[in-house]
């Protein structure tokens, strides 16, 4: 997918791993940095190697059909991303129109800490660089919602996804669509 391709841009990965599998800082494959499809290709490749080593033809056949993702697996980069954007845009939606100084400082602190703790490290590093270029705007709900929309669009651009119209962020995340 475009997401997994973008994830690997500029990040070296072992030639033995399928395209899109990102290595974590511990030197092991990073699940929250990798799409389910790439992770599955990697584990299927390993299952094939194990089956070939055991010389069991039936096991080889058993691993050729891609397994469907289970709902209760650890999140891949896309599931984690969707859930996280939902949380971030919902924080923007419930942020006050006129925040106090302490609310502004809490939100700024949260965004900075979030950018250090985000489990997909390649995503986190790019997000930190974005924060360096575009300081979060926390002066009001609409300012923050639009800033966040811009940050999300930057990731969309990197992944080859369509740009979201930021004038509509409140309909998408706060008020619902007028219809």
By CB under 6 A, name the binding residues for ligand FAD.
3, 6-7, 77-78, 81-82, 84-85, 89, 118, 122-123, 126-127, 149, 152-153, 155-156, 159, 161, 164, 169, 172
Cα distances from 16 to residues 3, 40, 95, 121, in angstroms, run: 20, 14, 46, 21
> Quick one: tokens of 28?
């092991």
d(CA 155, CA 151): 7
Q: What is the smallest separation between the CB atom of 127 and ligand FAD, expressed in angstroms?
A: 4
In a 3-state reduction of DSSP, which class is residue 23?
strand
**Which tokens belong to 35?**
């799409």
SS3 59: helix
User: Using CB atoms, what's the residue nearest to ligand FAD?
Assistant: 81
Give the nearest distance from C-beta 93 to ligand FAD in angstroms.
Answer: 10
Question: Which residue number, 63 or 154, has a Cβ lying nearer to ligand FAD?
Answer: 154
Least distance in angstroms from the C-beta of 51 to ligand FAD = 30
Least gap, CB of 168 to ligand FAD (angstroms): 8
């Amino acid at each position: 997918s475009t997401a997994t391709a973008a994830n690997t841009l500029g990040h070296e990965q072992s030639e033995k791993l399928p395209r899109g599998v990102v290595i974590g800082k511990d030197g092991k494959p990073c699940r929250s940095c990798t799409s389910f499809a790439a992770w599955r290709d990697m584990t299927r490749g390993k299952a094939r190697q194990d089956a070939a080593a055991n010389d069991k033809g039936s096991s080889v056949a058993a691993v050729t059909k891609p397994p469907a993702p289970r709902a209760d697996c650890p999140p891949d980069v896309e599931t984690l991303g969707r859930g996280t954007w939902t949380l971030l845009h919902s924080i923007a939606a419930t942020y006050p129109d006129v925040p106090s100084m302490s609310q502004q400082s809490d939100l700024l602190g949260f965004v900075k800490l979030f950018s250090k703790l985000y489990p997909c490290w390649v995503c986190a590093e790019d997000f930190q660089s974005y924060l360096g270029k575009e300081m979060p705007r926390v002066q009001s709900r609409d300012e923050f919602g639009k800033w966040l929309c811009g940050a999300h669009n930057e990731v969309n651009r990197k992944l080859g996804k369509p740009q979201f119209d930021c004038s509509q962020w409140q309909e998408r995340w706060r008020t619902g669509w007028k219809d």
